[in-house]
């Protein structure tokens, strides 16, 4: 028994080593894999066989090993079978995406829903339908869902959403509300990972998710900084003005009260308007004074909160995402000017301010990407449990 | 040549492994060291010989290995030879300490100097005298200084202090001003490490250094978080009120303007008073209204800035140090109440607020501790270069 367990754990380790190497250097022959990894050719062949059967790699023509080597069959990472489901509940929309093992986005759905008007039970029933639809369509394309992650707009502690103030949620345990296993994480954390894996940002940045709430995710040296309890990055509740308007979080003068989507629309005279953000963008493009003023003031507040964040966290670059992405042309100057005025004298360089190309999709993509990264880090668990399909049925 | 280099690098690695194990499990016999590390008895004996000659370990009586083992000579970490010099320049004092390899504090000096009134050249000439005095006295005790680290009150980038606004320094390159090699780091970073190695804090905390400036150092999982450029933790410049008083950093309404030592003394009617902090403490103990009000308001501002820090960095515990340590009885309630009012609704638990037992000594201790940790991590470099003494002469 112990012997078998030890044998399995070595096989699991070797399978991970071989898959990681195919991912890094593929297309690559078995002989080259043996040379790079230091494993025997027999072991490599066995591992490649397992990965082929699991649909994680595929054979793609022949390849010569070096100048004098004999041609061998090339092995490459396959996007044809293993995939992941990324889900997001946000205040005014739900979204889902399916990403395959090569991190190619295969499906993407978004649905506008005002989740403030619904109970968690209703919201999750909508989400279930969206997830089942995505999984059914992925199956038609021959994909098998290896797992799923859900992004929610609030701090998450061990599967429990203690408070998502903008949704009116308190102590919501996600596992109780879905009929398939899902990991849950904070929207801003997953959006930062989405930016890291699918965006253009380098390995050191603070990604700001502008939604009705505002969150941030700090990536340092290619890894997400989570803090002691996984609750770091709540930029939306950084204090901009201590006696400012009351916030749903229980505080006062939080950034969200100045630069959150609702606050912005209210300041632009678009409170409660359907299609608020597209209408705001129309007005900005038309040079509407209230709209321009609203962005100016939101940008200044964002600049104040980011000044505090730069002093505390020292990010490499700042990437504005979510609704701040389409609004970037109007936010850029007030944010930059505020930060420069407050930071330039003390620091060599004020962090560069850039815009996310993923916008509102970052969190859903990060959610799916997280599952793929886990599969790649530990393919054995997936190969071994492939028959007990963890996806929605 | 290559062979020799490879041999040296293996010997260096083994020396580090053996020293680390003596530190963890000593007193311990050579036989037990061989068993724990997986090295041969011959290698262990050679390494222990090197460490004995370098004065890093010592023999201390005999010890039986297990129940049936033969008695062997016990080896233990020695505080008798290798030591480190910690130095600090702060706005109103200079300090130095010598710490030995067992992290025992051997010497400690502090000198009140108003460094705002002096040029960097004058300040460093005082510091040199203090350092030489410490090294001379350490030598009399048989200690050899393996290296030194200097704490300065401002962000440090590769040996350059770009701006220490409270000292009026701009672009000061420390190496140009001292006659011995020294590593330079930010006071708040080193104070957090001092708290980690010499204090009572666990492995996850935010240490707040209250001085004329206010800095912070975040420790997560026993490691200091430094950010992308090593400039993280500038709590003193977190914005408390965006239109507040101008700060020397170029910003407005920074925490330092409300809770820095000068701001506190000014609010208590003690601006410019000699022995300001001791006099403030006397007045607080006597129940003087202005003094109590000053602490109340400073505590509220500190609570606002820490609210932003908790939202962004999610520290495990908050440790108040520097002058905030003696002031803790008067700061505790306003800080706690402000944080609880702003954080409790959104988080399961507001981080615990505790006081440092090291107070103003934390940075100097952390500076010396950093050298000791480097020696322990790489004893070979020290053994090999022991003859070129890097200490002040």
pLDDT at B391: 54
Q: Which residues lie below 8 Å from residue B75, measured CB to CB, with a gap of 6+? A: B22, B26, B27, B28, B29, B30, B33, B48, B51, B52, B57, B58, B59, B60
The predicted pLDDT at position A336 comes to: 96
* Location of each CATH 1.10.10.10 domain in chain B: 2-77
Query: Residue B1 has what pLDDT?
Result: 39
Quick check: A158 contacting B, CB < 8 Å?
no
pLDDT digits (tens, 9 = 90+) for B163-184: 787 788 888 888 888 888 899 9
Give, to the nearest 10 degrees, the angle between helix A276-285 and helix A289-313.
110
Q: Can you tell me the distance from the alpha carbon of B184 to that of B370, in angstroms, rounded to the nearest whole number?
A: 11
Asked if A311 and B235 come within 8 Å (Cβ–Cβ), the reply is yes
Contact criterion met (CB < 8 Å) for A228 and B220: yes
Inspect the interface and report whether the beta carbons of A346 and B315 lie closer than 8 Å. Answer: no
Is B316 in Cβ contact with A228 (below 8 Å)?
yes
A165 vs B: CB within 8 A = yes
Q: Name the pLDDT band for A7 (thresholds 50, 70, 90).
A: low
* Predicted pLDDT of residue A258: 97
Q: Do A220 and B239 touch (CB under 8 A)?
A: no
Give yes or no for A334 touching B (CB within 8 A): no
Region of poorest pLDDT, from A101-110, B106-115, B259-268 = B106-115
Taking a contact as any Cβ pair under 8 Å apart, which residues of chain A between 39 and 98 contact chain B?
none
Residue A1, beta-bridge partner list: none
> Residue A392: is its pLDDT beyond 70?
no
**Tell me: the pLDDT tens digits for A160-205?**
887 787 788 888 888 888 888 899 999 999 999 999 999 877 789 9
Size of interface A-B (CB pairs under 8 A): 150
Distance to chain B for A222, nearest Cα, Å:
11
B194's tokens: 């001092």
pLDDT confidence tier of residue B65, bands split at 50, 70 and 90:
low
Distance from CA of B278 to the nearest CA of A (A): 30
Give contacts of B311 with chain A, Cβ < 8 Å.
Answer: 234-235, 237-238
Is residue B23 scored above 90 in pLDDT? yes
Query: In this predicted structure, what is the pLDDT of residue B292?
Result: 96
ipTM: 0.86
Q: Which residues of A touch B305 (CB under 8 A)?
A: 239, 308
Place B187 in a pLDDT band, splitting at 50, 70 and 90. very high
- DSSP per-residue string spanning B18-79: HHHHHHHH-SEEHHHHHHHH---HHHHHHHHHHHHHTTSEEEEEEEE-TTTPPEEEEEEE--
Band of pLDDT at residue B143, cut at 50, 70 and 90? very high
pLDDT-wise least confident of A51-65, B55-69, B275-289: B55-69
Q: Which residue of B has its CA nearest to A308?
A: B238
What number is the average pLDDT over the span B34-57?
92
Using the Cβ of A173 and the Cβ atoms of chain B, whether some distance falls under 8 Å is answered with no
Are B335 and B353 contacting, i.e. CB atoms less than 8 angstroms apart?
Answer: yes
pLDDT tops 50 at residue A388:
no
pLDDT digits (tens, 9 = 90+) for B82-100: 999 999 998 888 999 999 9
Q: Which pLDDT belongs to residue A209? A: 92
Q: How many whole angstroms separate alpha carbon A44 and alpha carbon A34?
A: 6
pLDDT greater at residue A167 or residue B147: B147
Average pLDDT over residues A324-348: 92
**At the fourth CATH level, which superfamily is domain B200-357?**
ATPase, nucleotide binding domain (3.30.420.40)
Chain B residue with the nearest C-alpha to that of A338 = B251
The pLDDT-based confidence of B119 (bands split at 50, 70, 90) is: confident
Per-residue pLDDT at A356 exceeds 60: yes
The CATH classification number of B82-191+363-384 equals 3.30.420.40
Sequence-distant (6+) residues with CB within 8 A of B185 are B149, B150, B151, B152, B156, B367, B370
CATH 3.30.420.40: which residues of chain B? 82-191+363-384, 200-357
Express each pLDDT in A271-322 by its tens digit. Answer: 877 788 999 999 999 999 999 999 999 999 999 999 999 999 999 999 999 9
Looking at residue B69, its pLDDT comes to 65
CB contact B347 to A (< 8 Å): yes
Integer Cα distance of A337 and B360 in angstroms:
37
Closest chain B residue to A348, measured at CA:
B162
Q: Any CB–CB contact under 8 A between A225 and chain B?
A: yes
Report d(CA A302, CA A238) in Å as an integer.
10
The distance of A230 to chain B (nearest Cα, Å) reads: 7
Average pLDDT over residues A358-386: 88
Residues 191-210 of B with CB under 8 A from A: 204
- How far is B44 from A160, CA to CA, in rounded Å? 51
Q: Answer yes or no: do B229 and A155 touch at CB < 8 A.
A: no
Q: What residues does A74 pair with on adjacent strands?
A: A29
Per the prediction, chain B carries an average pLDDT of 89
pLDDT average, residue stretch A222-237? 91
Domain A2-77 has CATH 1.10.10.10: yes
Tell me which residues of chain A, numbers 348 to 367, contact chain B at a CB-CB cutoff of 8 Å.
Answer: 348
- On whether any CB of chain B is under 8 Å from the CB of A216, the answer is yes
Residue A329 has pLDDT above 50, yes or no: yes
Q: Which helix (H) or strand (E) holds A4?
A: helix A2-25
Predicted confidence band at B5 (pLDDT cuts at 50, 70, 90)?
low
- Window from B64-68, B140-144, B282-286, B360-364 with minimum mean pLDDT: B64-68
Q: What percentage of chain A carries pLDDT values higher than 90?
A: 65
Q: Is the pLDDT of residue A387 over 70?
A: no
For chain A, residues classed under CATH 3.30.420.40 are 82-191+363-385, 200-357
What does the pLDDT read at residue B2?
Answer: 46
Query: What is A82-191+363-385's CATH topology?
Result: Nucleotidyltransferase; domain 5 (3.30.420)
Q: How confident is the model at residue B7 (pLDDT cuts 50, 70, 90)?
A: low
Give the minimum alpha-carbon distance from A282 to chain B in angstroms, rounded to a whole number.
31
pLDDT of residue B372: 96
> Which B residues 240-299 touch A at CB under 8 Å?
240-242, 249-252
pLDDT value, residue A370: 95
Q: Which residue has better confidence, A272 or B139?
A: B139
């Amino acid at each position: 028994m112990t012997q078998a367990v030890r044998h399995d754990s070595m096989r699991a380790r070797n399978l991970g080593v071989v898959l990681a190497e195919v991912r890094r250097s593929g297309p690559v022959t078995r002989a080259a894999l043996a040379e790079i990894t230091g494993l025997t050719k027999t072991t490599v062949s066995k591992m490649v066989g397992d990965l082929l059967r699991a649909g994680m790699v595929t054979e793609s023509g022949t390849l010569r090993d070096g100048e004098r080597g004999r041609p061998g069959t090339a092995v490459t990472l396959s996007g044809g079978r293993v995939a992941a489901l990324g889900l997001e509940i946000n205040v005014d929309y739900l979204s889902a995406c399916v990403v395959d093992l090569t991190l190619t986005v295969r499906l993407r759905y978004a649905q506008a829903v005002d989740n403030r008007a619904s109970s968690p039970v209703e919201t999750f029933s909508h989400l279930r339908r969206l997830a089942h639809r995505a999984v059914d369509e992925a199956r038609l394309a021959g994909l098998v869902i290896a797992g799923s992650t859900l992004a929610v707009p609030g701090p998450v502690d061990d599967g429990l959403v203690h408070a998502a103030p903008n949704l009116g949620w308190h102590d919501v345990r996600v596992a109780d509300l879905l009929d398939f296993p899902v990991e849950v994480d904070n929207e801003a954390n997953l959006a930062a990972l989405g930016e890291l894996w699918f965006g253009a940002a380098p390995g050191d940045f603070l990604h700001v998710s502008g939604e009705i709430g505002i969150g941030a995710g700090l990536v340092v040296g290619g890894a997400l900084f989570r803090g002691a309890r996984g609750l770091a990055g709540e930029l939306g509740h950084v204090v901009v003005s201590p006696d400012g308007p009351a916030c749903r979080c229980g505080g006062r003068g939080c950034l969200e009260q100045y630069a959150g989507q609702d606050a912005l629309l209210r300041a632009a005279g678009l409170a409660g308007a359907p299609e608020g953000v597209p209408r705001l963008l129309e007005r900005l493009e038309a040079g509407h004074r209230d709209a321009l003023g609203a962005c100016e003031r939101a940008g200044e507040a964002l600049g104040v909160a980011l000044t505090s964040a730069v002093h505390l966290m020292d990010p490499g670059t700042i990437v504005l995402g979510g609704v701040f992405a389409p609004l970037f042309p109007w936010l850029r100057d007030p944010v930059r000017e505020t930060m420069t005025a407050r930071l330039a004298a003390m620091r060599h360089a004020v962090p560069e301010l850039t815009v996310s190309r993923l916008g509102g999709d970052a969190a859903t993509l990060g959610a799916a990407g997280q599952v793929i990264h886990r599969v790649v880090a530990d393919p054995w668990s997936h190969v071994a449990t492939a028959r007990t399909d963890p996806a929605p049925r």
